[in-house]
Chains A and B, each alone.
Chain A
Amino acid sequence: MSEPESTEQPLPDPNEFRAAQQAVDHAAHAAWRARRMLAASLMEPVMGCGAGVLSAAGSAGLMFDQTPGHVVGVFWWLIIEWWFLLWAVWILWSMRHRRKTDAMFAVDRGTAIRARGLRPLNFIASTLCVIAMFCFWQWAFPRMSTQAMVLVIGVSIAAFAGWFVVRFCQLLLAEDLVFAAAIAVPWGLYLARAPNSAVLGVIASTSALGAVGSLRSRWKRFARVGNGSETSSETPAHS
């Protein structure tokens, strides 16, 4: 086997060499972006499934917990659980919408924000929900044990701060941090020894159904995007 001798010579023109080096760097960056997008599409269902399982487990723990004391009003439970449900519905709706309009919406949220403006709305809605949760916790603090209070506050602040950081950095995984909050709330309240309630069971079930629906959508999207075969319109319809 002969070695191609010509390739051992550097490019003659330094300017050409520099331009070629820049082109190679740009290409490497583009390839990295592609890998990141594919990795994100693989990561999301994994994170989502984990969140769904843990959230359901936390809700189940609440259902079967018989420890008396630390009463939390069913009304507030409704707010919390409906937040989960509405959030899941929101995700489902936005995914369905963006799948119709622009396939890149599914994998590149930076593009999505510029393309349709749905993501800022999602961001605002989620922020309002988190603020509502803070209000709830403020109401619920006197009814919680100190340990549970510290846990809930710590997890929520960490999730909220992480969410902002990730959103700011455009790292594609912001929703998964909100999922993390969705895990933390049932578990936090479980540790707060909430009372058993048939209503609570129904609400937890609806929450779990919402989470399963969201995960199902994510998984279907993963099946399309994971192998790079997402169907799309080359010319997104704006009418």
Chain B
Amino acid sequence: MSPRRNQNSEGPLDLVIHEASRLTIVSVLNECEVADFNFMLATTGLTRGNLSTHMAKLIAAGYVSEDKQFVDRKPCTRYRLTEAGRAAFQAYRTAWQRITQGSNGSG
């Protein structure tokens, strides 16, 4: 399945990442190679439902890959930032820096 890019992501800021919760998720995943669901819960501070929903959007955009397994008969979901996701996050950071520098310069 090819990664699907959000229509709003062509602007100055990628709106898939720009949403606060998803930005937090991507920032955390950017620090890890792989992170499981509980680690994401603790670090992002999101509820289970919110985390699942936003993860689904990031997966649909092709920014995050998901690996669902059963360990000791219990579900274990691991998330990983894809190359596209890492590049998009880097682009977002660059764009944000430009915006803030522009804001500071003008203000």
Interface residues of A (CB under 8 A from B): 4, 6-11, 17, 19-24, 26-28, 30-31, 33-35, 37-38, 100, 102-104, 107-108, 111, 227-235, 237
Contacts and interface: CB of A to CB of B under 8 A. Distances in A.
Given A8-B98, A234-B38, A30 B45 contact: yes
B1 to A, nearest CB: 23
B44 interface: yes
A17 B12 CA distance: 13
Contacts of A26: 20, 23-24
Given A35-B31, A231-B36, A231-B71, A111 B42 contact: yes
B28 A20 contact: no
Given A34-B43, A231-B71, A232-B36, A27 B23 contact: yes
Contacts of A23: 18-20, 23-24
Contacts of B43: 30, 33-34, 37
Contacts of A6: 11-12
Given A23-B20, A27-B24, A30-B27, A104 B42 contact: yes
Interface size, B (range): 35 or more
Contact of B33 (A17, A37, A228): A228
A7 B36 contact: no
B27 A28 contact: yes
Going nearest first, the 4 A-B pairs with the smallest beta carbon separation are A23-B20, A233-B74, A228-B32, A27-B27
A46 B36 CA distance: 24
B88 interface: no
B44 A30 contact: yes
17 contacts: A8-B98, A10-B106, A20-B96, A27-B20, A30-B43, A33-B42, A34-B35, A34-B43, A35-B31, A37-B42, A107-B42, A227-B33, A228-B32, A230-B36, A232-B38, A232-B71, A234-B76
A30 B28 contact: yes
Contact of A34 (B11, B13, B28, B78): B28
Contact of B39 (A31, A228, A235, A237): A228
Given A23-B20, A27-B23, A227-B34, 5 more contacts: A19-B20, A23-B19, A27-B27, A38-B31, A231-B72
Nearest to B52: A234
B36 A229 contact: yes
B103 to A, nearest CB: 4
